[in-house]
Structures are given as C-alpha cells and as structure tokens.
Structure 1
Amino acid sequence: MTSQLGGRMAYAVWGVALATYFLAIFHRSSLAVAGLAASERFGISASQLATFAMLQLLVYAAMQIPVGLLVDRYGPRAVMLSGVVILTLAQTGFALAESYSVALVSRTFVGMGDAMTWICVLRLVSRWFPPRRVPVFTQLSGTVGQLGAVVAAVPMTVALREVGWTAAYLGTASLGILLALGLVFVVRDAPEGRRVSGPRMSWPGIRTSLTASWAHPGTRLGFWMHFTTQFSATAMALLWGYPFLVQGEGRSATSAGVLLTLIVVAFIYSGPLLGLLIGRHPWHRSSVVLVIVCAIVVVWTAVLAWPGPAPLWLLVLLTQVIGFGGPASMIGFDLARTSNPAERLASATGIINQAGFAASLVLVLSIGLILDWRTPGASTDYSPDAFRWALSAQYVLWGVGLAQIVRYRRRARAVIDRRALESGVPMT
C-alpha cells in the first residue's frame, strides 16, 4: 500500500483509528440504556446514578488538554494505544463490579481511555488526507464513530436482558484486544514514519503553547460552539434519555431504545452534509451553528411545554434536531485547524473538545440533583413534572453559550478579515 496523502494506506490507518473511536463511543454510551439496571444492581439514587456519568465526563473533559499535549509530543498512535488498553481494563472492571465504589472507579477510567481517542483520530486525519478533504473526513469520522452509540442502544438493551450485566459488559471489553493489535501493526503517525514525535515538553513551552492557542479568538469561538451544541444530545444519549422517555413520556423500553437510536441516525446523515457545507462555505460556520442551536431550543421548548406526554412525531423531531448538535460541535474543530499552526493543533483541539463535555457534565449532574429535589423520599419513580424541571436546566447553558458565540464570532471575523487581506487565511 502506498503512503501518499489520501492513498490506500491512509484509508487503512483511518479505518483502524475509526474502529477504536467507535468502541470508545460504545463504552461511553453503554450506561444510557443500563441506567435503571445500574440503579437496581447498586441500589443507588438518581444523583448517585448521575455521578457515574459526571465522573466519566469530568475525567474526559479534564484529560483533553493533557491528551492534546501528549499527542503533540508522542504522536497519535502511542496515545490511542494507551487509551484502548485503559478502556478494556476499565470496562472489564465495570462488568465485574458489585459495589457502587468499584463501579465509580471503573467508569472514571472509562472516561480516561475515551479521552485518548478522538484527538488522535483528528490528528491522523489531518496528516493522512489533503487539507481540502479534512473537514469532510472529520465529519465522517464523527458520524461513523457515533454508530457505537447505536450498538449501545437496542442491542445492549437486549444483551442486558438476555445474558445479564457481567456477560454483556465483558463481551464488549474483549473487543479492545483486537483493536490494540490493529493499532500496533497497521497505524502510523504520518506517511513519513510509523512514529512522529514532537519536541520535548517543558512547563514554559506548555504554557506558551496553550496561551497562544487560547489567545486566538477563533479557538475561543470553536470552544463556545462546541460548548453550546453538544450537551443536549450527550446528556440524553449518555444517561438521561432512557429514563426521560420511559418515565417522563410514558414510552415503552423498546420505543425508548429506538428513539435514542434515532439521535445517532440524525448524527449519521447530518455529519457529511455539514462537512460538505462548511467545506464550501467556511465563512458561515458560526451561522450554521447558531441556526442549529436555535432549532434545538425551539423543539425542546415544545416538548417540555406540551400538556401531558408529547406526541411521538414531536419526540422523533426532537431526536433529529439534537442529533444535529453532534456534527455541529465538530465545526469547532475546524476553527482550531484554521486558527492554529500544525505544531499546536492537538492541544488547541483539546481546549475546544473539553467545552461540550464540561457543559454535558454540568447538565447531567443538574438533572440528577433536580430530579431528587422534585421527587419525594428516595424513590427513583420520577414524574413527568420532575423531568420538566430537570431538563429546563438546559436553558441556562444555551443562554451562556449563544451569548459567547455571538461575542467571539465578531472578534474572530475581525482577525480573519485583517489576515485575509495579507495572506489569504481561510475565513471563519
């Protein structure tokens, strides 16, 4: 196989990296349909259940900048291999856990391993494909990777019911062994070498790199775009979608699983569309994000304000608009690419990637706390009214995020306008 940009070797490297990201998404999302089972297995409340996702997201968000720095230093192959080993061991621990504390530790390491995949995929895409094809392959990577959430929905529901908790989670953990072998024997950091390392890291160098990345308004715009678009779909897919649909909307377990799968379906078809759109119209990236966020807010408002359970067509529409939020969040990574030099691309990407997960962390925890506040005693039988209160926490995050997008897109456009006159830098 040739090692040229966009050649057969590029697709082989991308395929193995994408499979690894796919598995990471599966492990991240597998708790979404196991929330009620986890409550029964460990005897925990809603806020304790939310702690699973909270710790996982906290670790994921906190790891983004360190992982970006590690990728810049040691290359994506070594970092991704470490991540898949951690994921495999963590999911094995979660399968065997019989106490809440052991399960918490396991999910913490799931978040750590998960954090070591996506930035690596983005770096490999930027090195193995021509620049004009990077936005499309970035969206395709996110789209195909999100199929892991499909496997974590209906099939995982069936596995938990048919073979039980331990067997279901052990079976998925074993897949990490195969992917580790693929990373060792197939993946190369770049066409010019199996391992491409950066300069040695030092605290002054790290500080300078991160400061320079954050100082650019394009990086900040990407940060707030990622913050505002992702949290609704993540909170639903990761933990609260299934309980909301079953207890808050009165849907059956099967119907809830299908609706959660439809979120990923929206992610799948919207990703390539948005990739083509922003590739052809880079000046309108922030405008596309603003339109998508406003659509999410409008449909969520209709669902929460509906007297009684929302009709099925409205819930389906909800899955589609929040599904667009995932690919929309990836537009922020394109801002990192066009706002930073190659030597600090991974660290800038890490800064942006932590935004949406930090927002998701706040939302997941807020929903759990509000559900417990609105539910008498220690019951886990949450009412539709309790879910309306809990899910209204999204409006605070939307308000903050939209205000910051508008603020920094003005600043980013001013910088890009000035540089475009001088050197033709891609527009925001």
Structure 2
Amino acid sequence: MARVQIHNRGRRRAWVIWAVSLSVYLLAVFHRSSLGVAGILAAERFEITATALAFFTVLQLAVYAGMQVPVGVLLDRFGSRAMLLGGLALLSGGQLAFALASDVVGAVLARAVVGAGDAMVFVSVIRLVSAWFLVRQAPMVTQLTGIVGQTGAILAAGPLSFLLHRLGWTSTFALVSGVGIVLMVGVALLVRDSPYRSDAVTTVKLRALARSVRTVWGNPGTRLGMWSHFTSQFAVTTFTLLWGYPLLVQGLGWSPGRASTLLMLMTAWAIVSGLALARLVGRLPYWRSWIVISVVTAMAVPWTALLLWPGQPPVSLMVLVACATATGGPASMVGFDLARSFTPAPAIGRANGLVNVGGFTASLLAMAAIGVVLDLVEPGGMDAYTLTDFRLALSVQYLFWGVGVVQILRYRRRGLAHLEREHPGSLEQLRAGRPFVHPATDDEGV
C-alpha cells in the first residue's frame, strides 16, 4: 500500500510528539538511576553485600539489554506509541513494587520489571525521531534526546536523595511511581507513529520481522553502531547508576550533598558536550567512529590519573574525571546515527535495538565485575571499603575500553567496504560532510 504523507516532518507537530516522548524517556532514566543514590540505603534496608547490591542494577540492565532485540521487533510491528504506553505501565508498576518490597527477592523482581519497562522507551523515541524529522535535523534531535533525557539522572541525584531522607523509602518510591500514569494520558492523546497515513509499521508480519533480525545483525553498520555504544556508554552508566556515589561518599569521604552535586554536574556537562558532539558529527559524518574513539581516550586519561594518584586526589581531578566520563553518554548516541546510515527506515527499530544492547551489556558486566572485585579485596561490606579498594575494582574499565576500541576499528573497515560495495558514491558523500541515509523504503535488502 502506498505511503501517503499527511503531516509535515520537522514542524510543530513533530516537536510536540518528540517533547511528549522525551518526557517518557526522562522518567525512564529517573527510574533507572534511582538506585544510584539509594544504593547505600538499599544495602542497609535489605542487609546485603556489594555483590548483592550490584545484582539489583545488573539484573535490571540485563533485562533491559536482553529485551532490546524483541523490543526492536515489536517496535517495527506495533509502533512507538504502543511501546511507550507499555513501557510506562511496567515502569510505574515496578517502581511501586520496589517501594513496597520488604525483602531482597521482592526488590530484585521489582527492579527486573523496571528494566523491562525501561527497555521499551528509548528505542521507541529514536524511531519517532527518524520518522518525524528531516535528515539534516535527525543527528541534533537524537543528541538532544540523549542529553535532555539524562536530566532524569539529575532528578534522581538531587530531589530523590532529598525525598528519601524526608519521606522515607516507601513513600518516596510510591510517589514517583505515579508520574507514569499522567504521562500515559499524554502519550495516548498526542503521540502518533508516523506522518504517513499508511506505513510499514502496521503491515509487516511479526514472524517476518523476527526472521529479519539475523539479516540486520549481519550488517556491519549495525555492529559498528553497537560497538560504538558498547565502548562509550558503560563508564557513565556504571558511575551514575551504581558505583559513583559509593566511591565519592565511602571512598573519598565526601558528604552526600557534595556527591549528589557532582552527579548533577555530570548531567549538565553531558548536555553541553552533547550539543558540541552533535554539531561535530553533523559536519564530519565520515569520521563518526573516530569521534567516539577520541571521546573514549579522553575518558581513560583522567581515570588513569585518578587510579594512580598517591593518596587523596584533589577535587579538581575528580571533577575532570566526572565530566570526561559524562561525555560518554552523548558519544554513545553516535551509534544510532551510524545505524541510520546502513539501515532502511522500516528496519530501524531492530537496528536500534541491537545497537542499544551494546552499552547496556557492557554496563551490566562492568557493574558486576566491580562488585565482585570489591568483595574479593574486602569481604567486610560497604562500610569497610577504602579508596584503594575502589581504585582496584574500577580498573576493570580498561578491559572494556580496550575490547571496544578494537571492535570499532574492525567494523569501521568492514562498514566502509559495505557502503562502497552496495551504495557507490556514498563514501564520497560522507567525506564531503553530507549525511548518507539508506535509500530503501521497505524491508528488502536490509
């Protein structure tokens, strides 16, 4: 059936739809980050070790990462609106269950539900960006989606910390779970999947979509995007979601207020650096992979200084480490921009789902590894950890950075060869600073 365009792309309606869907992503990041400032309270409430505490977030991210492929398939079949509504329902229900949990089992299951709801949100928003905005607008809007959505981490770092100390565990998490109900009304009333009257999202069979995942995964551009996401995102996710706050409070002896301020500074820096990266990526599309590698290098250098610093490091170094790490969030958005150059529009949900697996797989593995190392070097639990213990545990990041950079270089070479072979002239277009978008308008030839 022919696709009949009934709304303009990149105009007022597009921005309204993006704003509503972005608010859902902001809430998802808030729920995802909530354990970062509640980690010490959770360890006390449930009487658990560092490894067990890490398991909360690792399971949440494992569910998130494990659902990305099926979510991508469902997204291409049912559209962003349905997936956003489903995600909000799971996020609200999971956070309410977490508020009422009185034992470890209930709390772990609740975080798994939160992870399932979170998995449906971001890729749905990115699909709306691809559908509703012009090619020249998409890189900037994608970056804005990532960096503005991350302000949910500010709400988790500051106001949530305040509420936890004023209202207590149950009242705080029950209160924030109700926000999703309000957003469900906004999504139902305002969000539409496409500016077209008839689109492939409503016609492609689910079984055929599932079979095509293998083909999408076989595309070197998908893998390039995934490894870019893997390498750049895990450090900031690990820091903000779980181990940054204990490092600052327990390892460095900072006050909770000071630690929360640094976490908020990271989000503010991510917004500034994200805008700069968006312009850079838009002007230099051929060098996107090298931009990611440069950001990763800029993260590793101050981390090396921190881990090797004799004694207590200066506050200025910790601020530098935090800002450099925060830049990894915007850099990970480049992975989705890379996938868009290799994938036709009807398959973008599957490609984005596969890309999104990368960073969160690395994050959950890094979080778990850090917890295991901490328990090995100091079995005494959270109260016994020293700065030396944290330094040793956080050194596992270099393993992930090293593997990721090697894979980015590997699939950059394969991806460029693929574009040159399948789409002659595409590389010249990218070198000239013009974005290349896959010309196919259906699923054939993914």
- Out of 194, 199, 209, the residue aligned to residue 204 of structure 2 is 199
How far, CA to CA, are the matches of 2:316 and 2:203 in structure 1? 51
The aligned counterpart of 1:214 is 217
Residues 78-130 of structure 1 show CA distances to partners (whole Å, capped at 9, x for unaligned) of 01100001100110011111111100000000000001000110111111111
SS in 2 for 1:199: coil
Residue 388 in structure 1 maps to residue 391 in structure 2: yes
How far, CA to CA, are the matches of 2:318 and 2:379 in structure 1? 27
Residues 358-401 of structure 1 show CA distances to partners (whole Å, capped at 9, x for unaligned) of 00000110111111111134564211111111101111111111
TM-score calculated relative to the size of structure 2: 0.92
The aligned counterpart of 2:117 is 113
How far, CA to CA, are the matches of 1:245 and 1:118 in structure 2? 29
How far, CA to CA, are the matches of 1:338 and 1:198 in structure 2? 24
The aligned counterpart of 1:249 is 252
Q: Report if aligned partners of 2:233, 2:329 keep a CA contact under 8 Å in 1.
A: yes
Residues 191-222 of structure 1 show CA distances to partners (whole Å, capped at 9, x for unaligned) of 234995241111x6523x22221222111111
Divergent runs of 4+, >6 A: none
Distance 1:163 1:216, change over 3 A: same
Paired letter, 1:206: A
Residues 160-195 of structure 1 show CA distances to partners (whole Å, capped at 9, x for unaligned) of 111111111111111001100001111111123499
The aligned counterpart of 1:157 is 161
Q: Report if aligned partners of 2:250, 2:383 keep a CA contact under 8 Å in 1.
A: no
1:329-340 matches, cutoff 5 A: 329-340=332-343
Residue 356 in structure 1 maps to residue 359 in structure 2: yes
Residues 44-70 of structure 1 show CA distances to partners (whole Å, capped at 9, x for unaligned) of 111110011010000000011111110
Residue 369 in structure 1 maps to residue 399 in structure 2: no
Distance 1:6 1:379, change over 3 A: closer
Paired letter, 1:172: V
Give the number of aligned pairs.
425
How far, CA to CA, are the matches of 2:317 and 2:367 in structure 1? 23
- Out of 236, 239, 242, the residue aligned to residue 239 of structure 2 is 236
The aligned counterpart of 2:46 is 42
The aligned counterpart of 1:11 is 15
Distance 1:166 1:425, change over 3 A: farther
SS in 1 for 2:310: coil
Residue 62 in structure 1 maps to residue 66 in structure 2: yes
The aligned counterpart of 2:443 is none
How far, CA to CA, are the matches of 2:8 and 2:238 in structure 1? 40
SS in 1 for 2:175: helix
The aligned counterpart of 1:291 is 294
1:158-197 matches, cutoff 5 A: 158-193=162-197, 196-197=201-202
The aligned counterpart of 2:404 is 401
Q: Report if aligned partners of 1:46, 1:380 keep a CA contact under 8 Å in 2.
A: no
TM-score calculated relative to the size of structure 1: 0.96
Distance 1:136 1:198, change over 3 A: farther
- Out of 344, 348, 358, the residue aligned to residue 345 of structure 1 is 348
How far, CA to CA, are the matches of 1:402 and 1:182 in structure 2? 41
Q: Report if aligned partners of 2:76, 2:209 keep a CA contact under 8 Å in 1.
A: no
Q: Report if aligned partners of 1:75, 1:198 keep a CA contact under 8 Å in 2.
A: no
The aligned counterpart of 1:272 is 275
1:310-325 matches, cutoff 5 A: 310-325=313-328
The aligned counterpart of 2:29 is 25
Return the offset for 1:418: 3.8
1:54-93 matches, cutoff 5 A: 54-93=58-97
Which stretch of structure 1 is more off in the superposition, 136-145 or 412-421? 412-421
SS in 2 for 1:245: helix
Return the offset for 1:408: 1.2
The aligned counterpart of 1:104 is 108
How far, CA to CA, are the matches of 2:375 and 2:222 in structure 1? 37
Q: Report if aligned partners of 1:248, 1:384 keep a CA contact under 8 Å in 2.
A: yes
How far, CA to CA, are the matches of 1:315 and 1:252 in structure 2? 14
Distance 1:30 1:5, change over 3 A: same
How far, CA to CA, are the matches of 1:343 and 1:72 in structure 2? 7
Return the offset for 1:318: 0.8
Return the offset for 1:18: 0.3
Paired letter, 1:289: V
How far, CA to CA, are the matches of 1:411 and 1:418 in structure 2? 11
SS in 2 for 1:421: coil
How far, CA to CA, are the matches of 2:287 and 2:233 in structure 1? 19
Paired letter, 2:204: P
How far, CA to CA, are the matches of 2:78 and 2:299 in structure 1? 39
Runs (5+) with no aligned partner, structure 2: 1-5, 432-446
Return the offset for 1:419: 4.4
Q: Report if aligned partners of 2:371, 2:393 keep a CA contact under 8 Å in 1.
A: yes
SS in 2 for 1:34: helix
How far, CA to CA, are the matches of 2:425 and 2:322 in structure 1? 44
SS in 2 for 1:30: helix
Paired letter, 2:236: A
Runs (5+) with no aligned partner, structure 1: none
How far, CA to CA, are the matches of 2:328 and 2:269 in structure 1? 9
Q: Report if aligned partners of 1:413, 1:427 keep a CA contact under 8 Å in 2.
A: no
Q: Report if aligned partners of 1:51, 1:365 keep a CA contact under 8 Å in 2.
A: yes
Distance 1:205 1:129, change over 3 A: closer
How far, CA to CA, are the matches of 1:314 and 1:194 in structure 2? 54
Identity fraction in percent: 47
How far, CA to CA, are the matches of 1:183 and 1:377 in structure 2? 47
The aligned counterpart of 1:302 is 305
Return the offset for 1:238: 0.5
Q: Report if aligned partners of 1:248, 1:309 keep a CA contact under 8 Å in 2.
A: no
SS in 2 for 1:168: helix
Paired letter, 1:258: T
